[in-house]
């Protein structure tokens, strides 16, 4: 259980983590600059279990993996949005910040009490349930392995 952080459409990766912080790789340190200048309270108040709720095209722009890492460092385990930009979607799967498509994000206000139930594919916000779209089968293999690093380790050196 955590709080919802509500965002609009077209949230770009420059907003999630500005270009001047890209020499940093530590998720916690990146998290201290997440949404700097566009939503300063996020880095101060976000905590483990919180969920990002967004509109269309979340994570558009740069391929910087610093973006999902910054969210991970802030304790975000799930981003629930109407749609995702392609590169962010893969980066998020690979780094273990799960991007989940949900067409009902308009109905979830900022600051609600939310929790994601992945096996049963719903998000509960202020005691109301909204269905989630399943993660595509081939991406689920990576999720189930624990991310692409673990998936690669299972493959070994073949």
Partner 1 sequence: MGQTIAEKIFSAHCKKECRAGDVVMAPVDGAMIHDITGPLAINVMKEMGGGKVFDPKKIIMLFDHQIPADSISAAENHVMMRKFAQEQGIHNYDIKEGVCHQVVPEKGRVKPGDIIVGSDSHTCAYGALGAFSTGIGSTDMAYVMKFGELYFRIPDTIRIDANGKFQNRVGPKDLILTMVGDIGADGATYRALEFCGRAFRDMDIPGRMTCANMAIEMGAKAGIVPPDKKTRDYLKGRCDYTPFDLESDGDAAFFEERSYDVAEISPKIAVPHNVDNVVDVSEVAGKHIDQVFIGSCTNGRYEDFVEAAEVLGDRKFSDDVRVIMVPASRDEYMKVLKAGLIEKFVDAGALFEAPCCGPCMGGAFGLLAPGEVSLSTSNRNFRGRQGSTASFVYLSSPSTAAASAISGVITDPREV
Q: Which residues bind partner 1 (CB under 8 A)?
A: 10, 12, 14-15, 18-20, 22-25, 36-38, 56-57, 60-66, 83, 85-87, 90-91, 94-95, 136, 138, 147-149, 152-153, 155-157
Nearer to partner 1 by Cβ, of 2 and 27: the residue is 27
Extract the tokens encoding 47: 């905590």
- Smallest gap from residue 111 Cβ to partner 1 (A): 22
What radius of gyration do the chain's Cα atoms show?
A: 15
- Smallest gap from residue 9 Cβ to partner 1 (A): 8
Identify the bridge partners of residue 114 per DSSP, sorted by sequence position.
2, 125
How far apart, in whole angstroms, are the C-alpha atoms of residue 17 and residue 92? 14
Count of other CB atoms within 10 angstroms of residue 86: 12
- Smallest gap from residue 78 Cβ to partner 1 (A): 18
């Amino acid at each position: 259980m955590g709080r919802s952080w509500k965002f609009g459409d077209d949230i770009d990766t420059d907003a999630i983590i500005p270009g001047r912080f890209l020499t940093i790789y530590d998720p916690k340190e990146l998290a201290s600059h997440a949404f700097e200048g566009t939503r300063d309270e996020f880095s101060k108040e976000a905590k483990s279990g919180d969920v990002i709720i967004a509109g269309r095209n979340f994570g558009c722009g740069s391929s910087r993996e610093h973006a999902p890492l910054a969210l991970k460092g802030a304790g975000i385990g799930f981003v629930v949005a109407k749609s995702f930009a392609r590169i962010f979607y893969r980066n998020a799967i690979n780094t273990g910040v799960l991007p989940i498509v949900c067409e009902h994000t308009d109905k979830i206000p900022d600051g609600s009490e939310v929790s994601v139930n992945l096996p049963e594919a719903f998000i509960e916000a202020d005691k109301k349930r909204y269905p989630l779209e399943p993660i595509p089968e081939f991406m689920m293999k990576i999720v189930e392995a624990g991310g692409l690093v673990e998936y690669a380790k299972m493959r070994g050196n073949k």
